[in-house]
Amino acid sequence: MARFTAHREIAAPAQVVWDLVTDWSRHGDWVPLTQMTVTEDTGGVGTRFTGRSGLGPLAFDDPMVVTGWEPPTSVRAGTASLRKEGGVVLGTAEVQVVPLPGERCRLRWTEDVAVLDRRLSRAITLPLAVGGRFAFGAVLKKVAAEAESRAQQR
């Protein structure tokens, strides 16, 4: 299983970032070649959504369910935990928003992922971890830009 973490400090309040990053339908705006479909929105645990990534016949579905939900406060981190529900990609993800002094926060995204084929998964663990960290670093940069813009408009 490949593990990667991407993180970024953002000049926006934790609640602004939390609201943005846990709007699962928006993830396709930041993740290249991905379209999101929310199939059940409970507002927390039990929310189900699927990311379809790729082009044409080379696309795959990544269905997920929210398994943990604790929004941030002004003094405590917020954490959303996700389980990948099959398809090609298996594993878990955790999104954490940590409040910092001065209307800032740190956004951290961690994934433990494998592909369905175990032999293939072992062979691509290192490239998947390095590529995932790089890709999600770019995603968090886009999320940060939008959150900072929203915070300035408040």
Q: What pLDDT sits at residue 88?
A: 78
Return the CATH number of the domain spanning residue range 2-153.
3.30.530.20
> Is the pLDDT assigned to residue 92 strictly greater than 60?
yes
CA 123/CA 85 separation, integer angstroms: 22
Q: Are strands 104-115 and 60-70 parallel, antiparallel or unpaired?
A: unpaired
> Is the pLDDT assigned to residue 125 strictly greater than 70?
no
Helix axes 125-153, 14-21, angle to 10 degrees: 120
Q: What dihedral do alpha carbons 100, 76, 95, 19 form, nearest 10°? A: -80
Phi, psi (rounded to 5 degrees) for 57: -70, -10
- The owner of tokens 């960290």 is 133
> Is the pLDDT assigned to residue 57 strictly greater than 90?
no
